[in-house]
Amino acid sequence: MAFEIDVLITFCDQDNQSDGWVDYFRKHFVTVLAYISGVQHNVVPKGEFDSITSPALNNAGILISILSPAFAKSANCQAYLQKFDLATRDTASQVTRMFKVNKSPVAAGAQPPEIRDLFGYDLFHLDIDAGETRSFADYFSDEAERQYWMEMVDLCYDVNNTLLFLKQGKSLKDVRNLFGQKPVYLAQTGYDLTVQRNIIHRELQRLGYTVLPNRSLPGDLQTFERIVAEDLAQSGVSIHLIGADAGLIPVGTDKTAQELQNLLAMQRGQSAKEQNEEFPRFIWISSHLAQAGERQRKFIESIRRDVESSDGAEIIQSQLEDFKAIIREELFDTHEKHSQDDLASDAIYVIYDKFDEAAVKPLIDHLGRVGIRVLQPDFERDVLSLRQQHIDNLRKLDAAIIFQGSMTDQWVRMKVLDLLKAPGFGRRKTFRAKAIMTSHDPLPAGSFYGDDRITIIAGRTFVPQAVDTFLHQLKE
């Protein structure tokens, strides 16, 4: 299936006027999507007062809505959602072609019905202690790295998978579940653990696991229980992160969504036991519980002490990294068998683009001459396999060199972001050395060039001595 527009971004003009938020979003989205897919997609922004006809909507593959209070109140924005929904109903039962990006929180009841039940990608910062939300002003701050970019990467992976389905007929199961494992149920959490849940969610996805639920859970009890039970029935394990925020309470009960998910997972485990099957449950309890209310404290205490509430579950009260290590030990052994052979600690991962294969050769040859094992991208692989190889290298290798030949500074920035995100991909230790090798002169301004944790090897010609200095630092 071919489209005139691959991705149409709808937004309320008010959300782009003061700080150009939508313009920045589109720029970042296009860059990350191209990196993941390996191709440039036609991504078109559409404000609420732009004219568009039904045939054009019918020729758009995916619609992304930038949800905000202003968007929810805009009659034009709602009309676009209705037109797109009507124009794409022939594929509605096969794949979701609408995505929801939350620029700021909007209560479920105030959201347009077409996107109300969709999973939302939160691109705002939530200060739990102050009870405030705000947009990111610095897109490369620590806060943005933990929230904005993680959500952006997840959004682009999901959009790319949907485009593959629409254009090539590949099923989402084929795209997302690389090695045939059962899905993992990763319970939805309170706001205080959104970042932690995203880290685990992303790591599971990168290793080929389908993660459920893959949509926002409904607000009424009956539908909530049905959907959670269906997702748990498909899953081979459930993971629950419990923090200070109790989260939402579905209509029709006095139990929170966290309590209900734990209860339903326990029932799933009991059913599996009766059939001589295994259904492991992992519960992580945060150490930051000072802001927890009375209800949440009682729930946590019941998990700690009540045999019924914790039946069949492994409860971990330690650092999140320790919890992740336990999950990896349980889930990822199968994945490791499909990965590359164990990588030597003295190897260096040279990151470059296919366009620079000739330019990077002197560097790779020199590293080989001095006895360094070099790992590099295998451009003969398909896009998903190439990305998986990249993740494996980031998880295991002790050193990396980003080679910038003909590529842009934005490309370099994305590679640096990958290095920073390596712990989220399952890396358990820090890099011994990182470097950017560039022929650009002068070096443009940018935090990734000025970071003292990254060595800069600059020059218009290849100088072995400059590389040897970096290698000396690596040995130290």
Q: 3-state SS string over the chain?
A: CCCCEEEEEEECCHHHHCCCHHHHHHHHHHHHHHHHHCCCCCEEEEECCCCCCHHHHHCEEEEEEEECHHHHHCHHHHHHHHHHHHHCHHHCCCCCCEEEEECCCCCHHHCCCCCCCCCEEECCEEECCCCEEECCCCCCCHHHHHCHHHHHHHHHHHHHHHHHHHHHCCCHHHHHCCCCCCCEEECCCCHHHHHHHHHHHHHHHHCCCCEECCCCCCCEHHHHHHHHHHHHHHCCEEEEEECCCCCCCCECCCCCHHHHHHHHHHHHHHHHHHCCCCCCEEEEECCCCCCCCHHHHHHHHHHHHCCCCCCCEEEECCCHHHHHHHHHHHHCHHHHHHCCCCCCCCCEEEECCHHHCCCCHHHHHHHHHCCCCEECCCCCCCHHHHHHHHHHHHHHCCEEEEEECCCCHHHHHHHHHHHHCHHHHCCCCCCCEEEEEECCCCCCCCHHHHCCCCEEEECCCCCHHHHHHHHHHHHC
Confidence of residue 449 (pLDDT cuts 50, 70, 90): low
pLDDT for residue 231 is more than 90: yes
- Assess contact for 127 and 133: CB atoms under 8 A: yes
Residues forming a β-bridge with 240: 283
- CB atoms closer than 10 angstroms to residue 453: 10
Better-predicted residue by pLDDT, 219 or 93: 219
124 and 30 housed in the same domain: yes
Question: How large is the average pLDDT for residues 258-269?
Answer: 92
pLDDT for residue 174 is more than 70: no
- Assess contact for 268 and 233: CB atoms under 8 A: yes
Residue 81 structure tokens: 């959602």
pLDDT confidence of residue 90: 67
450 and 354 housed in the same domain: yes
372 and 429 housed in the same domain: yes
Q: Write the single-letter amino acid at 337.
A: K
Tokens 């706001």 belong to: 191
Number of domains in the chain: 3
pLDDT for residue 223 is more than 80: yes
40 and 157 housed in the same domain: yes
- What are 48-84's pLDDT values in tens digits? 887 655 446 668 899 999 999 999 999 999 999 998 9
16 and 112 housed in the same domain: yes
198 and 331 housed in the same domain: yes
| Domain endpoint, select from 321, 338, 355 | 338
d(CA 259, CA 9): 36
Give the dihedral of Cα atoms 144, 145, 149, 150; nearest 10 deg: -120
73 and 212 housed in the same domain: no
Confidence of residue 177 (pLDDT cuts 50, 70, 90): very low
Preceding amide of 213 cis, omega within 30: yes
| Domain endpoint, select from 338, 365, 393 | 338
25 and 60 housed in the same domain: yes
Tell me the Ramachandran region of residue 132: left when phi exceeds 0, alpha when psi lies from -120 to 50, beta otherwise.
beta
- Assess contact for 83 and 97: CB atoms under 8 A: no
pLDDT confidence of residue 417: 76
427 and 371 housed in the same domain: yes
pLDDT for residue 276 is more than 80: yes
For 216, phi then psi, to 5°, come to -70, 135
| Angle (CA) 62 407 34, round 5° | 10
- Most distant CA pair in the chain, distance: 71
- What are 366-424's pLDDT values in tens digits? 888 888 888 888 888 766 667 777 877 887 777 899 998 888 887 888 788 778 766 65
Residue numbers of the domain that contains 149: 1-176
pLDDT for residue 165 is more than 50: yes
Burial tier of 337 (Cβ tally within 10 Å: 0-12, 13-18, 19+): exposed
pLDDT for residue 30 is more than 80: yes
| Domain endpoint, select from 312, 338, 364 | 338
Preceding amide of 442 cis, omega within 30: yes
Residue 16 CB partners (closer than 8 Å, separation 6+) = 22, 23, 47
167 and 48 housed in the same domain: yes
- What are 113-157's pLDDT values in tens digits? 999 878 788 888 876 556 677 888 777 676 776 678 878 888 888
Of the candidates 141, 131, 135, which has an alpha carbon nearest to the alpha carbon of residue 447? 141
CATH code (residue 192): 3.40.50.10140
- What are 311-365's pLDDT values in tens digits? 567 888 777 767 776 777 666 544 444 444 344 446 899 999 988 999 999 999 9
pLDDT confidence of residue 338: 40
151 and 206 housed in the same domain: no
130 and 278 housed in the same domain: no
Q: Write the single-letter amino acid at 431.
A: F
Q: In what order do the strands lie in the sheet with 281-285?
A: 211-212, 184-186, 237-242, 281-285, 313-316
pLDDT confidence of residue 7: 94
pLDDT confidence of residue 118: 84
